[in-house]
Amino acid sequence: MADIATRIKKVVAETLEIDANQIGDTARFVEDLGAESIQSVELVAAFEEEFDLDMDSEKSLGVKTVDGAVEFITQAIAEQQPG
């Protein structure tokens, strides 16, 4: 889980062009980190690329916080791994 959180923060920092050290676990993408709507879409695409996932865009855009993204991506990884 910690590795996933670190990778998520790295992606968020790169996409939003902010320092990864400013990103707390409970940070909200829009309110706390200043993401605009187009950047939310860019974040989803960047997460898909980083984790080699195909995420449901409607559900993924509903994720509003860093820890929510960790939970969402952890679940997506588990669902997409060969059984």
User: pLDDT tens, 16-70?
Assistant: 999 999 999 999 999 999 999 899 999 999 999 999 999 988 899 899 999 999 9
CATH architecture of 2-80: Orthogonal Bundle (1.10)
More confident of the two residues 83 and 70: 70
3-state secondary structure of 52: coil
- Predicted pLDDT at 7: 97
- The residues spanned by each domain of the chain are 2-80
Give the integer Cα–Cα distance in Å for 20 and 41.
Answer: 19
- Predicted pLDDT at 83: 63
Band (82; pLDDT cuts 50, 70, 90): confident
Q: Is the dihedral of CA 1, 57, 28, 48 positive or negative?
A: positive
More confident of the two residues 17 and 80: 17
